Amino acid sequence: MGVDPSKVPQITLNTGDKVPCMGMGTFGSDRFTPEQVSNAVAGAIRAGYRMFDCAACYGNEDQIGEVFKAAIDEGVVERKDLYIMTKVWNDMHREVEKSARKSIADLQCDYIDLYFIHWPFPNYHAPGCDVDSRNPDSKPFSVEEFMDTYRQIEELVDKGLVRHIGISNMTIPKLEQVVDKFRIKPVACEMELHPCFQQQELFDYLRAHDIQPIGFMPLGSPQRPERDIVATDIADMQVPEFKAIAEKHGVHPAIIALKWAVQRGQIPIPFSIHEAEYVSNLNSTQTEPLTDEEMATIATLEKNNRLVKGQVFLWPGATDWHDLWDEDGVIVDCPDAK
C-alpha cells in the first residue's frame, strides 16, 4: 500500500532542484504525542513520502530523527532522496546556527534541505500557551532584524549545513522591503493555504518572484490547537460546493483539497497520524485530476478565512491580530521600512 515515489509529480525550484509536489506535515497540534507523529512519519516514508515539514518548536524532532535514521539504516530510503524541511523558532533568531545544528542533530539528517524562518519576527510564546497570553518583549517586524536572521541562514548555506532557504508567514509589504536584499534567494514561502483561504495576491507575488508557495493547513486543519479556533471559522471540508465535488469523485473532501492545491501549483503538506489518511493523501496525486470547471468552482470558495491569526505574537501597543498581516498594504509599526 502506498505510492512509488518516482511516480509522484515533481516541482522544480528556482535552484533547478526537483522536489515532490506534496509533503507531510509533522505538527502534532498540541493534540498528538511525538511518538504518534514519528510513527506516522515512519509509515509515510514506507508509503512513498519523501518531503517532511518539521520545526524545532513542534517538540518532536528527536523522535522523528530516530525514524529517519532507522529508515536509512534499514535501506528503506537514502538520505539524498529525503527532502527534510525545518524552521528556526522565534526565540533563536540571534542564534540561528545553534538552532540549525540542534535540528540537524535531533533529526539525524547531516544537513537541512530547506530551512525556514518560521515567523518574520523574534516574538515567541510558551508552547501550548493560551490565546490571550502576550510576551512583553514582543516587537513589530523590523527589516534589520529579519535580514540579520536571514543572513545567518545564508552563512549556513555557505557552510553546507543548509541547502535551501525558506520564509514563512510573510506578507507582500514585508517581502517588498527585503526582496532585493537577499544574497541567496529563498526557494519557497510556507503560508496558510486552503480552499477558504487562498491568499491569491501573495500566491501570485511569490510565483512572479519564482518563490515556490508551500501550503500549510491544506485541509483547514480540523485538529488545530484550541488557541487557533474561533466560532466564526469556516470548516473547509463542510462547504456544500466542496462536498458536492468530493461526492462526484467518490472521495473524502480532503482528497479534493489536495488535488486543488497541487493543480493550482502550491505544495501542500497535509498531516495525519492515520495510515489510511496519509496514504490516500499521497495517492491523490495519482488519480483523475479535477476538471477546469471544478477548479473554477473552488476558486470561488475563497472566504478570507485565516485560521492561524497569530495573536500570541502581538507586541505591546498592537491593536489586534490583523496588525500582523499588513492588511492595509503597509507594515504595521515597522521601525525601519523604507
Ligand X SMILES: NC(=O)c1ccc[n+]([C@@H]2O[C@H](COP(=O)([O-])OP(=O)(O)OC[C@H]3O[C@@H](n4cnc5c(N)ncnc54)[C@H](OP(=O)(O)O)[C@@H]3O)[C@@H](O)[C@H]2O)c1
Give contact residues for ligand X (rule: CB under 6 A). 25-27, 29, 53, 118, 168-169, 190, 216-224, 252, 254, 269-272, 274, 277, 280-281, 308
* Nearest distance, CB of residue 214 and ligand X, angstroms: 8
- Identity of the residue, 73 or 226, whose beta carbon is nearer to ligand X in the bound complex: 226
Report CA dihedral (137, 143, 146, 150) to the nearest 10 degrees. Answer: -160
The alpha carbon of 83 is separated from its chain's Cα centroid by a whole number of angstroms, namely 14
Is 58 marked active-site?
A: yes
* Nearest distance, CB of residue 317 and ligand X, angstroms: 24
Phi, psi of 315 (to 5 degrees): -95, 160
> With contact defined as beta carbons under 8 Å apart, do 65 and 34 qualify?
no
- Identity of the residue, 143 or 189, whose beta carbon is nearer to ligand X in the bound complex: 189
Q: How is residue 53 written as a grid cell? A: 515539514
Residue of 58, 83, 115, 150 with catalytic role: 58
Q: How is residue 312 written as a grid cell? A: 500570541
* Nearest distance, CB of residue 75 and ligand X, angstroms: 27
> With contact defined as beta carbons under 8 Å apart, do 237 and 257 qualify?
yes
- Identity of the residue, 39 or 223, whose beta carbon is nearer to ligand X in the bound complex: 223
* Nearest distance, CB of residue 338 and ligand X, angstroms: 27
**What CA–CA distance (Å, rounded) separates 158 from 333?**
33
- The β-bridge partners of 24 are 52
**What CA–CA distance (Å, rounded) separates 236 from 239?**
6
- Identity of the residue, 90 or 135, whose beta carbon is nearer to ligand X in the bound complex: 90
- The β-bridge partners of 110 are none
- Identity of the residue, 13 or 41, whose beta carbon is nearer to ligand X in the bound complex: 41
> With contact defined as beta carbons under 8 Å apart, do 37 and 10 qualify?
no
**What CA–CA distance (Å, rounded) separates 203 from 194?**
12
* Nearest distance, CB of residue 109 and ligand X, angstroms: 16
Interstrand relation of 24-25 and 162-168 (parallel, antiparallel or unpaired) = unpaired
* Sheet of 51-53, strand order: 24-25, 51-53, 83-88, 112-117, 162-168, 188-192, 212-216, 267-268
- Identity of the residue, 183 or 304, whose beta carbon is nearer to ligand X in the bound complex: 304
- Residue 296 makes CB contacts below 8 A (sequence gap 6+) with none
- Identity of the residue, 121 or 180, whose beta carbon is nearer to ligand X in the bound complex: 121
Give Rg (Cα) of the chain. Answer: 19
- 3-class DSSP state of 48: coil
* Nearest distance, CB of residue 303 and ligand X, angstroms: 16
**What CA–CA distance (Å, rounded) separates 190 from 212?**
8
* Nearest distance, CB of residue 176 and ligand X, angstroms: 20
> Which residue is nearest to ligand X, using beta carbons?
25
Residues carrying an active site annotation: 58
